[in-house]
């Protein structure tokens, strides 16, 4: 699932809930487009404190604000979470459920 479709599941006021997902945190720190890694501890502090307001402010600040803008513009390269490596031939596939090279299923 892409980050964009993940975030769409949550109402704007539920960002803290969205951000509390461990996989979400791991994923956003892996995005190289924006320097989130240095900034993420502020978000984690907000999650630990269940401080919705702090999480909300974090969302409006850089670099997250830039990232959300990029998402809205449908920038390609943010769907890397959909990448998977074929167990059969090690080809790196994007999104599909069977390998593009050899037809081996994803799971």
Site of interaction with Zn ion (CB under 5 A) = 86, 88-89, 91, 99, 101-102, 104
Q: How far is the CB of 82 from Zn ion (least distance, A)?
A: 16
Instruction: Choose between 65 and 102: whose C-beta lies nearer to Zn ion.
Output: 102
Q: How far is the CB of 102 from Zn ion (least distance, A)?
A: 3
What number of helices (H) and strands (E) belong to the chain? 6, 2
Contact 25, 19 (CB under 8 A): yes
Instruction: Choose between 30 and 85: whose C-beta lies nearer to Zn ion.
Output: 85
Torsion of CA 79, 85, 86, 87, to 10 degrees: -150
Instruction: Choose between 26 and 89: whose C-beta lies nearer to Zn ion.
Output: 89
Instruction: Choose between 49 and 98: whose C-beta lies nearer to Zn ion.
Output: 98
Q: How far is the CB of 2 from Zn ion (least distance, A)?
A: 22
Q: How far is the CB of 84 from Zn ion (least distance, A)?
A: 10
């Amino acid at each position: 699932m892409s980050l964009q479709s993940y975030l769409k599941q949550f109402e704007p006021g539920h960002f803290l809930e969205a951000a509390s997902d461990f996989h979400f945190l791991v994923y956003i720190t892996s995005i190289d487009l924006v320097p989130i890694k240095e900034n993420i501890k502020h978000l984690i502090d907000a999650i630990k404190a269940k401080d919705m307001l702090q999480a909300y402010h974090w969302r409006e600040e850089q670099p997250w604000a830039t990232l959300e803008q990029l998402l809205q513009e449908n920038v390609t390269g943010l769907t890397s979470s959909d990448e998977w490596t074929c167990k059969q031939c090690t080809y790196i596939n994007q999104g599909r459920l069977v390998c593009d090279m050899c037809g081996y299923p994803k799971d």
